[in-house]
Structure 1
Amino acid sequence: MTLVLRYAARSDRGLVRSNNQDSVYAGPRLLALADGMGGHAAGEVASKVVIAALAPLDDDDPDDDLLAQLREATIAGNGSISELVASDPDLDGMGTTLTAVLFAGTRLGLVHIGDSRAYLRRNGQVSQITHDDTFVQSLIDEGRITEDEAANHPQRSLLLRALTGQHEVDPNLTVREARAGDRYLLCSDGLSGVVSHDTLTEALEITDPQACADRMIELALKGGGPDNVTVIIADVVDVDFGEDAPIVGGAAGNGQDEGAPASDTAASRAAALTAPAPPQRIEPPEEPPDPKAKRRKRIRWLLLFVLVLLLLAGGAITTRYFVMNQYYVGEGQNGEIAIYQGVRGSVLGIDLHKEIQGSCDPAVPDCEKVYVNELEQSARQTVRAGQPQESLQEAREFITRMRLSNRLPECEPPPKNQPRPGGANRPNGRGDQPTETTTPRPEQQEEQRPGVDCRQPRNPGGR
């Protein structure tokens, strides 16, 4: 009897995203998940390349130094991203997270960079075994905010570390003991950012790995599905044999939402990252007696990998065109309602958008600017949250609606005979007692609140 893995994997586009930028791989020895990020190129390009670099580890014989194997494969994946960017500078800005487990009997190696997560369920207790490389997590570590505050922090998606090909990579690497009965959950932030820890713990009680993975996806979608969501469930069991056919899904499975099993060779798995194949689970072929078979298999994989790079470069250029045709309405730097080209957020400090127009259409003469603090409270929140629009024209129409329907009326000037605050009266000019003043009526005491029920009038001629 030996320790083996029984696993299931699934990836879903979610309810908001137009494509799936996550990539996932689950095999007898390797569990790997990568969450791609946009920039000027699609994140699926980066996640595919990194998963392709790790896939051969599932075929290799167990090594005493699991961490060296994981580190070398991660560096190779980061180098592949760098080569793509060097060949086409327009691809600069893409990147990916990575969380992967390499299994070897009683031990397993864990590599992690970014905000995807790994959890361990042991003896009924669930614990997170990775540490988020995010700005918000650094604030938690420093005691500046709480976990509850982090859940709604405006910069909760800002990564401090990721695989971008721009810098030498130094991922977190750890070795853990594997025990029969352990269950591992690997997931993208499309799950952990939507579903609470208590709910995840409850779902991990589902015995069947595939049913458990399906439940995780269901919970993320019920939570609104704002991002791609990818899940791997793997149980450590003490049996004669475990699962033997790997599962490739997400962007690495050509955008298929369900994790699709693939044939058990490194070459065929690399090909699966670019060439569609019908989902199927097949028995692995018997190892040929030829001692050079492994070398030939690696050569075939390298040739296919070159083809992958060429195909990905063309796909990345197409995706860049898609991203740059996105628009949203938000608050400009001067407080004016503004139109932005691109998508909200940033990657490693690089904005994914730019302001292209204020609240006035350049083609409309004598247009009066509209500022966010002149809107009704609910409309302010809507604009400050950023409202995606299908086109530049739709963005302009949205601003027109805000101008006509959601702008506060101008504050009326106070009456000239309004009494001084506090009931103080002006002297009667003779240096003796003040003149008698009548108490204002209740309706005269009510004051308009600028920014709440009215807006301050601007200077004459101000725009």
Structure 2
Amino acid sequence: MTLVLRYAARSDRGLVRANNQDSVYAGPRLLALADGMGGHAAGEVASKVVVAALAPLDDDEPGDDLLDQLRGAVLEGNGAIAELVSHDPDLDGMGTTLTAVLFSGNRLGLVHVGDSRAYLQRGGQFTQITHDDTFVQSLIDEGRITEEEANVHPQRSLLLRALTGHEVEPSLAVREARAGDRYLLCSDGLCSYVSHETLAEAILIPDPQACADRMIELALKAGGPDNVTVIIADVVDVDYGDDAPIVGGAAGDGSSDQPPPDSPASRAGAITAPRTPPPQPMAQVGPTPDPKARNRKRVRLLVWIVAILIVLGLGAGGTVWWVLGQYYVGATDDNHVAIFEGVRGGPVLGIPLHRVAETSCLAPEEAGCKSLTLDELQESAREDVRKGVIPEKPGMDGAREAVRRLWLGALLPTCTADPASTATSTTATSATGTSASGGAVAGSTTSTTPTLTSASQQPGKNCRKVG
């Protein structure tokens, strides 16, 4: 017996929201749904990044470590959110829920954080198999309110756990998969507005795509104030299942949900396209596609994911070209002062944010031009360079001017050539003098000039070596 998944997915921004912060991925092994949050703080960015972190699991044979793979991918996605926030503080506050299933033969791994949900239809029973990480659910668990009261509670949207870049442990479970099982994964845009009883009726629609369409329709009929996303997946015993992954919502190329142009989400490069009403299914359930077409889709998906991560990780104005036009003065690994192209910070998901564009010599076009080192700078200037000096004037010209200022006003005094032979004073003798009347007279004069003693000279601290 060979068990495979037959699946469909749908996402809609709803009737009120200006954009879609949900992201969804459905493939032969992986089902993942993330509901972004944070409003102007780019919830759609968070959901995209987390789904992108899980997507590679769809191409790998899961083996025996289903939960380890899921946990690792979730932590990677959560870490990516933290990286983005560190490079653009305006993104602080964004986050996402996650509910995902990794399928392998007669087993599946389930990972969950937040208030998106997973349901199982088996043997005539429709059951919720995830536990909401919400304040009202904690009140229900303690017996302080009923589920009916939770539906109208003023804090019903308060999450206790989500992926926000801060440390969090997802809920993990392994479940048995049986032929005939049907799974529903949904964002709270469905289950918060459509009753359990109504969902239990709709889940019986035989065709997965028709079932997903009906779920979306029910949410919109209920007012559709929130984004709503649905995955329907059947466990079937056949030779093959659907092989083309479905990527949708904020993570899909077909989403029209544009964030405001001045929002951090827009600046982080959320990639969407114009929406064509009425909403259409993101993919149709059908036979296995040609392997070459499948590979092309995966290549396009990989390129798309990489492009998003580059744009998001830079935390800049929407395109990589913006970053290539930024310059600052910083220190190289070998403590030389240099002009860097890009922005400060370490790699984001392995993507470097800057590179050395030019040394710090005053005439870079001349052969043998000497560049500054940190040891030659005064301590305050040294710290500024370590942190990165942003030029007052943008562009390479501004960076070169910042280097000139270091040369002219931030150097340590020169150490004497032979510290061991210096004294606390030197005597200069002149063979001639000048009379009050202005004539030259024979004789000698002396003058005393203070210098650093050999004990007080500390190259790199209070003086600099020359040559």
Length-normalised TM-score, structure 1? 0.60
1:243 corresponds in structure 2 to 242
2:3 corresponds in structure 1 to 3
Kindly tell me: are residues 313 and 201 of structure 1, through their superposed partners in 2, closer, same or farther at Cα, counting changes over 3 Å? farther
Distance 1:13 1:298 in 2: 22
Q: How does 1:53-68 map to 2 (within 5 A)?
A: 53-68=53-68
Any gaps of 5 or more consecutive residues in structure 2?
258-269, 276-281, 320-467
Secondary structure of the corresponding residue to residue 230 of structure 1:
strand
Q: How does 1:277-316 map to 2 (within 5 A)?
A: 282-285=289-292, 304=307, 306-310=309-313, 314=317
Kindly tell me: are residues 147 and 287 of structure 1, through their superposed partners in 2, closer, same or farther at Cα, counting changes over 3 Å? closer
1:114 corresponds in structure 2 to 114
Contact (CA 8 Å) 1:24, 1:250: kept in 2 or not? yes
Amino acid at match of 1:182: D
Alpha-carbon deviation of 1:61? Answer: 1.4
Alpha-carbon deviation of 1:9? Answer: 0.1
2:37 corresponds in structure 1 to 37
Contact (CA 8 Å) 1:245, 1:283: kept in 2 or not? no
Amino acid at match of 2:140: I
Contact (CA 8 Å) 1:23, 1:250: kept in 2 or not? yes
- Is 1:211–2:218 an aligned residue pair? no
1:139 corresponds in structure 2 to 139
1:73 corresponds in structure 2 to 73
Alpha-carbon deviation of 1:62? Answer: 2.1
Amino acid at match of 1:156: R
Kindly tell me: are residues 111 and 88 of structure 1, through their superposed partners in 2, closer, same or farther at Cα, counting changes over 3 Å? same
Contact (CA 8 Å) 1:40, 1:92: kept in 2 or not? no
Alpha-carbon deviation of 1:198? Answer: 0.3
- Give the share of equivalent positions with the same residue, in percent: 76
Q: How does 1:261-410 map to 2 (within 5 A)?
A: 274=271, 282-285=289-292, 304=307, 306-310=309-313, 314=317
Any gaps of 5 or more consecutive residues in structure 1?
259-272, 289-293, 317-463
Contact (CA 8 Å) 1:10, 1:257: kept in 2 or not? no
Secondary structure of the corresponding residue to residue 161 of structure 1:
coil
Distance 2:202 2:311 in 1: 37
Secondary structure of the corresponding residue to residue 256 of structure 1:
coil
Distance 1:313 1:231 in 2: 32
Amino acid at match of 1:216: M
Kindly tell me: are residues 277 and 310 of structure 1, through their superposed partners in 2, closer, same or farther at Cα, counting changes over 3 Å? farther
Kindly tell me: are residues 313 and 236 of structure 1, through their superposed partners in 2, closer, same or farther at Cα, counting changes over 3 Å? farther
CA RMSD of aligned residues (A): 2.9
Alpha-carbon deviation of 1:122? Answer: 0.2
Distance 2:104 2:234 in 1: 14
Distance 1:69 1:96 in 2: 19
Q: Which structure is larger by alpha-carbon Rg, 1 or 2?
A: 2
1:92 corresponds in structure 2 to 92
Alpha-carbon deviation of 1:200? Answer: 0.2
Amino acid at match of 2:187: S
Contact (CA 8 Å) 2:120, 2:129: kept in 1 or not? yes
Kindly tell me: are residues 96 and 313 of structure 1, through their superposed partners in 2, closer, same or farther at Cα, counting changes over 3 Å? farther
Q: Deviations over 1:43-77 (max 9, x none)?
A: 10100000000000000112211000000000000
Secondary structure of the corresponding residue to residue 149 of structure 2:
helix
Distance 2:192 2:22 in 1: 15
Distance 2:131 2:121 in 1: 16
1:12 corresponds in structure 2 to 12
Kindly tell me: are residues 277 and 174 of structure 1, through their superposed partners in 2, closer, same or farther at Cα, counting changes over 3 Å? farther
Alpha-carbon deviation of 1:42? Answer: 1.8
Moved more, 185-194 or 33-42: 33-42
- Is 1:189–2:188 an aligned residue pair? yes
Amino acid at match of 2:91: L
Moved more, 279-288 or 72-81: 279-288
Distance 2:303 2:213 in 1: 35
Kindly tell me: are residues 315 and 163 of structure 1, through their superposed partners in 2, closer, same or farther at Cα, counting changes over 3 Å? farther
Amino acid at match of 1:136: V
Q: Deviations over 1:347-404 (max 9, x none)?
A: xxxxxxxxxxxxxxxxxxxxxxxxxxxxxxxxxxxxxxxxxxxxxxxxxxxxxxxxxx
Contact (CA 8 Å) 2:11, 2:22: kept in 1 or not? yes
Q: Deviations over 1:320-368 (max 9, x none)?
A: xxxxxxxxxxxxxxxxxxxxxxxxxxxxxxxxxxxxxxxxxxxxxxxxx
Secondary structure of the corresponding residue to residue 292 of structure 2:
coil
Kindly tell me: are residues 199 and 83 of structure 1, through their superposed partners in 2, closer, same or farther at Cα, counting changes over 3 Å? same
Kindly tell me: are residues 196 and 64 of structure 1, through their superposed partners in 2, closer, same or farther at Cα, counting changes over 3 Å? same
Secondary structure of the corresponding residue to residue 253 of structure 1:
coil
Distance 1:189 1:203 in 2: 16
Amino acid at match of 1:181: G
Length-normalised TM-score, structure 2? 0.59
Distance 1:84 1:108 in 2: 31
Amino acid at match of 1:214: D
Alpha-carbon deviation of 1:168? Answer: 1.4
Amino acid at match of 1:145: I
Kindly tell me: are residues 208 and 156 of structure 1, through their superposed partners in 2, closer, same or farther at Cα, counting changes over 3 Å? same
Distance 2:272 2:37 in 1: 22
Alpha-carbon deviation of 1:284? Answer: 3.0
Distance 1:119 1:299 in 2: 30
